[in-house]
Chains A and B, each alone.
Chain A
């Protein structure tokens, strides 16, 4: 089955700097890769996703890149703000054939003012 590894487990950046979180997956058949943001005491919230037929997707300060050959995908947050501080999870799934999102172990991002 699918296995997703996520790095780093914690990340501290200065406000305004960029943050990058990386994930690798094991099942080459996986074709949908969402990223979730989880704030303390709340459920995961989808912030961006990418399908395997594209290499990059942007939404304002957030971007995700996918390297299918290497089975890597990354989340990029530019111009970080204190409200970006949260735990971020990557996930992978074989879309349309499965409903079991496989999550990484999470990255705790701290943006220092």
Chain B
């Protein structure tokens, strides 16, 4: 079946611009996660949704970052006033429910964001 879909696959933007990154989770998955992966590093947690609500946004680096999931399915990660340090691969994952009980995370292929 269809996996987690992320668009765009690549995004190049100028410093100071606003960007939106989209994630379509696997159908029926109630939990959705955003991670950020810098070059040569493992993914780092940003935010977690259970349904429509952000259950934990403690990984967001600052208030320029915001994410929504208005209908409990598609999610959008929004970055305002982008900085060069925001350049990374942004990964979205989904799972059947909370925690990891019999519901491992399934990752999308990510959006590579480059801020020039």
Chain A residues with a Cβ under 8 A of chain B: 4, 6, 32, 34, 36, 41-46, 49, 89, 91, 93, 95-106
A-B contact count (CB 8 A): 65
* Dominant secondary structure at the B interface: loop
> Given contacts A103-B44, A105-B41, A105-B42, is CB(A95)–CB(B109) below 8 Å?
no
Query: How far, in angstroms, from A54 to B101 measured CA to CA in the complex?
Result: 15
0/1 interface trace, chain B 82-115, chain A, CB 8 Å (1 if under): 0000000001010000111100111111100000
Judging by beta carbons under 8 Å apart, are A43 and B41 in contact?
no
CB distance from B30 to the nearest CB of A (A): 12
B21: interface (CB < 8 Å): no
Docked Cα-Cα span, A105 to B44, in Å, equals 10
Quick one: closest B residue to A41, CB to CB? B109
Q: A42-B110, A44-B43 are in contact. List 7 more A-B contacts (CB 8 A).
A: A4-B42, A36-B107, A95-B99, A96-B98, A99-B33, A100-B59, A106-B40
29 contacts between A and B (CB under 8 A): A6-B42, A34-B104, A34-B105, A36-B107, A41-B109, A42-B109, A42-B110, A43-B91, A43-B93, A43-B110, A44-B91, A45-B107, A89-B42, A89-B43, A91-B42, A95-B99, A96-B99, A96-B100, A98-B99, A99-B98, A99-B100, A100-B48, A101-B45, A101-B100, A103-B42, A103-B43, A105-B40, A105-B42, A106-B42
